[in-house]
A and B are shown apart, each in its own frame.
Chain A
Amino acid sequence: MSVAEVRLKAQPGLIAVPYRRVSAATLAANVVLVLLGCFFLIPMLWMLFASIDSNPDWAIKLPSPTLANFREVLARPETVIAFRSSLILAGTTTVVTTVLAMLAAYPLSRMHIPLKRPFMLGILFAAGLPVSMLIVPVYQLYVTLGWLDSLYTTALFLAATSLPFAIWLMKNFIDAVPIELEQAAAIDGASTPRIVRQVVLPLVVPGLAVTAIYTFINAWGAFVVPFVLMYSPEDQPGPIEIYNFMGSHGLFKFGDLAVFSLLFSIPVIVLYLVMSRYFSGAFNFGGAVRG
């Protein structure tokens, strides 16, 4: 109760009219929401419970809690390798994508390029193309180049597929920076690279962060591309490891699988929380979603 309310209550003669605190509609809405929340929570719960269960099964059950699963998974070298691979893959993709997107988005935003409009629309179009169309010829290409089975070359392709949307995101972020600042810098005699580096870049850092995090989250969970372009079992990134685990029925331990999945998912969840806390406008996709 705020100070004002306390003061008022002390005075005589206040007429308080009882309210139905909560209307039927609001109550129904909240109940439905809780039910829906359960629908979303329950499948996830398996992963949580099975990971700390000493005797897990497919179903959610009350765990006989243990950390043995965690110890086991963390001790295994494959776990570390998988994480390392994913980190390399996602990290390389993110760096390449973000840098190239920034470089490409600046001229698209600021300069008068012929055919800019169709180009931007083409970018949007490209962002929606199914990977399946690209994967076959790229596979062929990689075979010829001998680029198969390498995390770095795979990252290159992932970057290429992430680039259209990243460029679109960055362009919107750069659009939001007032051009007068750059014009002032130009009048002061700064060259274009310097302007970009010292004027635009600092202001666009949130946008860069959003793009980078978005790209990273996508690359971290990437499955198809590494699945096709990498074949040797040593360097497989996380998702492939999990898939392989799933395929070997009965030979694996549910608990370990749950632990590994949980551990693998945590970085992305953390990143998402970071992104939403500090960039609350991010999920307007930079203002892209109009409604």
Chain B
Amino acid sequence: MTSQTVHLYRSMKELPSTHLLGTGTPMCAGCGGLEALNQLYDIIGERSVFINAAGCMTLLSVYPFTPFRGSWLYTAMASAPAGAQGVRDALDILIEKQRIAADEDMQVVVLTGDGSAYGMGLSATSGAIERNLDFLYICYDNEGYGNTGQQFSGATPHGARTSTSRGPRGYPGFKKDLFAIWAAHKPAYVATVAGAEPVDLARKIEKAMSIKGPRLLIALSPCPTGWDYDPKDTVTVGKLAVKTGVWPLKEYIDGKVMHTKPPRERKPVEEYLKLQGRYKHLFEPKRNDKLIAEIQQKVDRYWNQTD
């Protein structure tokens, strides 16, 4: 893979102002996943091939239209990392055997939602990391099976309402710790990002692009349709996820986990929950103090352990 100059963005002024991904895609207005993808694609660039698993983003490209200036391959829900393996190996073989010029090489990038990443695709991801595949993995995490109507997935947080958890206490399960699962494989790089924190995101993708091996990112993707809030609040919700400590911005590299933007004084999670219709049952018709406290405790426990 050709080397990249590392910018290590310091402020938003330095972020790319040219947006490479084409407009005109059928993602919902205010899609937090698309926002993150736009920011990532601006830095990853068109010398890339995106390998996709079934999810909202599968509909980015519907014949005969595509928003990509680089390449794209839709595979299936469980096997995008395997598709990445095939493409990466093929490019290596073609270059090694001098059947194509070295500058025909591309960054191989898996793009999946949380449905695939946290669940069905976990086996393929595990295999790919185990084989030390040189690829990027971007998971846009909207905390549910979005494309099918927001049923709960392995990424759904405790207490959230989804179309399959409509009871008074919402989703009884707990969000799987995908970051820890990936990090346990000791890949080259793991990071959490959010479109609401573009400088942090830009630094991380730049860093990822400068390394080889398996590099995996989870992008918190606030979802107006699934989380039930007005689309204009996508960035507000994303920022609050970070400021309340619900979404830690961190990276794993060389065996260590570092928090890149720890909230100095964490806002109460309630501020984050209140904005979203998927948590409305925590406040109406009656406040569920117990459940709100549970959620707060979980966040507190996480940050107390990292201090």
Is B one of A's binding partners? no
